């Protein structure tokens, strides 16, 4: 019989700060002591832009051209629209519930900003950006980009009209999500109706998080969490239940831990300082390609 996985801690969002001029974010990982890169590996960064109204702007707000190496960036839009361009020639726009999954790997330049029409009109904006670590053997692989639109997402209805699950990566109830990842990861948006209940189960060695995007929930009939709070699940079991106290959306993350050294500096995450220095040299030598700001 599988053991129940308990809640380790519920976190309120840290004070917000701006990334560029278009993302007002709460950094859960790694700024909170309990959520270090090592503890949450393969999830080594989480920025959450809680609901925020941006006024109309003639020039799209966002983050200008910058490099990455050694991991993947995953951007999930909930309100508003996000545009992407990178030095491998990829580009795309995502809206509500859609995902940009960029594998920086050996090195890439990219920029992210509010989509042009959204910028002109302004409005409510909400998104999550994750950095997903790459195993050492894949850190220098070829960059790639996956634009996951609503038609690509795999939706699974829950029993008793409790709601539905939109699978981004990994599996739920025998169905697989569209995203390809280098590390075993489960990532989905759980949509629950008021009083809807569902059970989830992950390998107890997988690091597991719940971000309440909308509404309020109770985990294991005991621990409560509300909008914008992050729930860290302990690594002491497999099964746990979630009940919605009102109509709710929960981002569910669970991934196999990478037991490898982490060397991080700014936009680069490698395994040692020598590799970090090499990343800076390669970037300065123009090996990450070209992209106009």
Do residues 262 and 37 lie in contact, with contact meaning Cβ atoms separated by under 8 Å? Answer: yes
Task: Pull the structure tokens for residue 126.
Answer: 């909400």
* Structure confidence at residue 293 as a pLDDT band (50, 70, 90): confident
- Beta-bridge mates of residue 125: 52
Residue 262 scores a pLDDT above 90: yes
Question: Is 178's pLDDT higher than 80?
Answer: yes
pLDDT recorded at residue 172: 96
Q: Is the pLDDT confidence value at 84 over 80?
A: yes
Which helix (H) or strand (E) is 29 found in, with range?
Answer: strand 23-29
Position 125 scores a pLDDT of 98
Share of the chain above pLDDT 70, in %: 100
Residues 95, 148: Cα–Cα separation, whole Å? 10
Sequence ranges of the domains in the chain: 7-256
Give the Cα separation of 233 and 231 in Å (integer).
Answer: 6
Model confidence at 1: pLDDT above 80: no
Which fold would CATH assign to domain 7-256?
Answer: Jelly Rolls (2.60.120)
Q: Does the pLDDT at position 31 exceed 80?
A: yes
Residue 266 has pLDDT above 70, yes or no: yes
Q: Which of 166, 165, 126 is nearest to 26 (CA)?
A: 126
Residues 87 and 289: beta-carbon distance below 8 Å:
yes
d(CA 254, CA 208): 4
- Residue-wise pLDDT tens digits, 191-211: 999 999 999 999 999 999 999
Which residue is it, tokens 């991934």?
255
Mean pLDDT of the chain: 97
pLDDT tens digits for range 131-176: 999 999 999 999 999 999 999 999 999 999 999 999 999 999 999 9
Banded model confidence at residue 271, pLDDT cuts 50, 70, 90: very high
- Tens digit of pLDDT for each residue in 56-68? 999 999 999 999 9
Q: What is the mean pLDDT of residues 285-289?
A: 96
Q: Is the pLDDT score of 213 beyond 90?
A: yes
Confidence (pLDDT) at 104: 97
Structure confidence at residue 2 (pLDDT) = 76
pLDDT band per the 50, 70, 90 thresholds, residue 268: very high
Encoding tokens for residue 12? 């309120």
Q: Find the mean pLDDT for residues 98-113.
A: 97
Length of the chain: 293
Q: What is the pTM of this model?
A: 0.97
* Residue pLDDT, tens place only, 110-141: 999 999 999 999 999 999 999 999 999 999 99
């Amino acid at each position: 019989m599988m053991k129940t996985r308990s809640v380790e801690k519920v976190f309120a969002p840290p004070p917000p700060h701006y990334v560029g001029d278009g993302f007002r974010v709460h950094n859960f990982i790694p700024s909170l002591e309990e959520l270090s890169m090592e503890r949450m590996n393969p999830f080594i960064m989480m920025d959450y832009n809680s609901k925020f109204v941006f006024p109309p702007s003639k020039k799209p707000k966002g983050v200008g051209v910058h490099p990455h190496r050694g991991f993947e960036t995953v951007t999930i839009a909930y309100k508003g629209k996000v545009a992407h361009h990178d030095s491998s020639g990829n580009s795309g726009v995502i809206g509500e519930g859609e995902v940009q999954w960029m594998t920086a790997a050996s090195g890439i330049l990219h920029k992210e900003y509010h989509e042009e029409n959204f910028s002109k009109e302004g409005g409510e904006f909400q998104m999550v950006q994750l950095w997903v670590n790459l195993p050492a053997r894949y850190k220098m692989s070829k960059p790639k980009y996956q634009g996951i639109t609503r038609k690509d997402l795999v939706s699974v209805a829950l029993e008793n009209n409790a709601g539905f699950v939109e699978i981004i990566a990994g599996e739920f109830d025998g169905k697989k999500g569209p995203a390809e990842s280098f590390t075993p990861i489960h990532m989905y948006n759980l949509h629950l109706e008021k009083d809807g209940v569902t059970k989830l189960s992950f390998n107890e060695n997988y690091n597991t998080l719940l971000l309440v995007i909308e509404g309020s929930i109770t985990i294991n009939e005991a621990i409560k969490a509300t909008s914008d709070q992050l729930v860290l699940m302990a690594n002491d079991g497999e099964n746990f239940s979630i009940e919605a106290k009102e109509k709710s959306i929960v981002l569910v993350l669970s991934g196999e831990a990478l037991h490898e050294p982490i060397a991080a500096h700014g936009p680069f995450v490698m395994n040692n300082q020598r590799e970090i220095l090499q990343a800076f040299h390669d970037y300065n030598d123009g090996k990450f390609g070209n992209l106009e700001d």
